[in-house]
Amino acid sequence: MRAAAINILAFPEQRDLIDQAANLLGKNRSDFILEVACERAQAFLLNPIFFDLDDEKFHQFNAMLDAPSGLNPGLERLMAVDAVWGKKE
């Protein structure tokens, strides 16, 4: 048994669209909305582009981004290799 209610208001067109998709998947409206909302929330939370830092960590992060990069022999070797798509035959 579910323990918490989630109430939302939608335009009739939105409700109809949701109902159409839910019916195609053999789900009721509530199950469909909950499943899709949870999938979207997980995708957002796991997105490597978004991360939360306090002010101190944010300033440290920016300082690392602004600092000049050190030598990277592996990267230099990689960049010296001719790209396959750039070779003339």
Backbone conformation region of residue 26, classed left if phi is above 0, alpha if psi is from -120 to 50, else beta: left
In the predicted model, residues of the chain with pLDDT beneath 70 are 88-89
Task: Tell me what pLDDT residue 52 has.
Answer: 81
pTM tops 0.85, yes or no: no
Tokens of 45: 């939370």
Q: Angle 29-46/12-24 helices, nearest 10 degrees?
A: 90
- What is the pLDDT at residue 89? 65
Q: What is the pLDDT of residue 45?
A: 86
